[in-house]
Structure formats: structure tokens, C-alpha cells
Structure 1
């Protein structure tokens, strides 16, 4: 196994929580709802529930998964929580690196 292949395997392992989180259609809808609202300060759970037609507990569950995968962040203002995507802190950049590495290895297959 080449060093490039080993690096790719490590990248896949590093991105596994991210891939799992964004692989769910409901979480994709939640991410779109968050992005539609703009970046900072974000959107509250109640607003997300209206956009994706899910219960508050269901949205909270999915947001927790997105937060654990370091895709979504929270801004607390008093007793209110606002959820947003922070491009500088998001692990989504890891996904871009993974795709670029896959493309590089695929070019070598030609």
C-alpha cells in the first residue's frame, strides 16, 4: 500500500463522523434551513422546525449530531440558542480535502 493510499484511508477515518452526519436527508434539510437564514447569529430550533416540518425534539437530536460532527455551531444569547454554520471552524473543509485527494489518486489511474 502506497503512502498516498494510507493517507486517503486516514482522511476517510477523519471524515467518517462528517460523512455520517451529512449523509442523512433530514440533516441535509436542516443544514439548508440554517444556511438560508445566513451565517451569524444563526437560527433558533423553533424556526428550523417550521422550515423542515419536524418536531422540536427531532430537530434538536439532529442538530446535536451536526454539532458533534463540528458542522454546526451555537451562539447563546441569554436563554436563546442560535445555530449557524461557521466556515472557518467547520469540518466541512476536511471533506473538500478528502475529495481533492480522491481526485488526485483517480488522475493517476488514467
Structure 2
């Protein structure tokens, strides 16, 4: 694969990852992700639990969870009237891993 083909793949990777990059680029959303990653609970956390750990208001947490969900970074599981949020490691965040791998390969082969 030539240099231009590699760059085109990286460009597509940036385009495909844009929503994820914007979502995780916010410091508040990063703190929410850290809370979700730091929990021992495999079933996810409710908004109230995230609110306690981040010291953010409930509406703020809900807003940021919505942004993260729309970007595909987290998922929500309903249990009756309760919503549980957890990190979606298998899809959208995987785009970032692929993008970084492509950039790393490009840099190793061209510099």
C-alpha cells in the first residue's frame, strides 16, 4: 500500500471517529467515563450514582450521558424504570484503536 492510500485510510478513520473524539474530548465527559470504568459493577451505573461520584448536577450528568450515548461510547440498559449506563468497548471506541494503529503504522513506515 502506498503512502497516499495509507493517508486516505487514516483520513476515513478520523471522519468515522469524529463523534467519539468530540464526545470524549470534554473534561466533564472524561470524568463520567472514569467513574464508569472505575466501578466494580458490571451492570452499569444509574444517573444518581454517577452524580454522587462526579459532584455534578443530575441534569448535567444526564446531558453528558446523552452525548456519550449518541456517540456510541456508552450504552444504556433498562431494568423496569431504572436506566443503567456502561461503557461500550466493542464498537465505537474500537474505531479509535484502529485509527491509532493505522497512524502508528504509517509513522513507522514513513519516518
Q: TM-score range by the shorter chain?
A: over 0.9
Matched, 1:72 2:74: yes
Query: C-alpha separation between the residues in 2 aligned to 1:38 and 1:25?
Result: 22
User: Contact 1:18–1:69 at 8 Å: present in 2 too?
Assistant: yes
State the TM-score, normalizing by the size of structure 1. 0.93
Unaligned runs of 5+ in 2: none
Query: C-alpha separation between the residues in 2 aligned to 1:86 and 1:67?
Result: 9
Deviations for 1:52-94, whole angstroms, at most 9, x for unmatched residues?
Answer: 1110000000000100110100110000000011323x31111
- 1:2 aligned counterpart, secondary structure: helix
Unaligned runs of 5+ in 1: none
User: Contact 1:21–1:65 at 8 Å: present in 2 too?
Assistant: yes
Number of corresponding residues: 109
User: Contact 1:39–1:84 at 8 Å: present in 2 too?
Assistant: no
- 2:83 aligned counterpart, secondary structure: strand
State the TM-score, normalizing by the size of structure 2. 0.92
1:107 Cα deviation from its structure 2 partner: 1.0
User: Contact 1:66–1:72 at 8 Å: present in 2 too?
Assistant: yes
2:88 is matched with 86
1:4 is matched with 6
User: Aligned-residue CA RMSD in angstroms?
Assistant: 1.3
- 1:5 aligned counterpart, secondary structure: helix
Matched, 1:59 2:65: no
1:95 is matched with 96
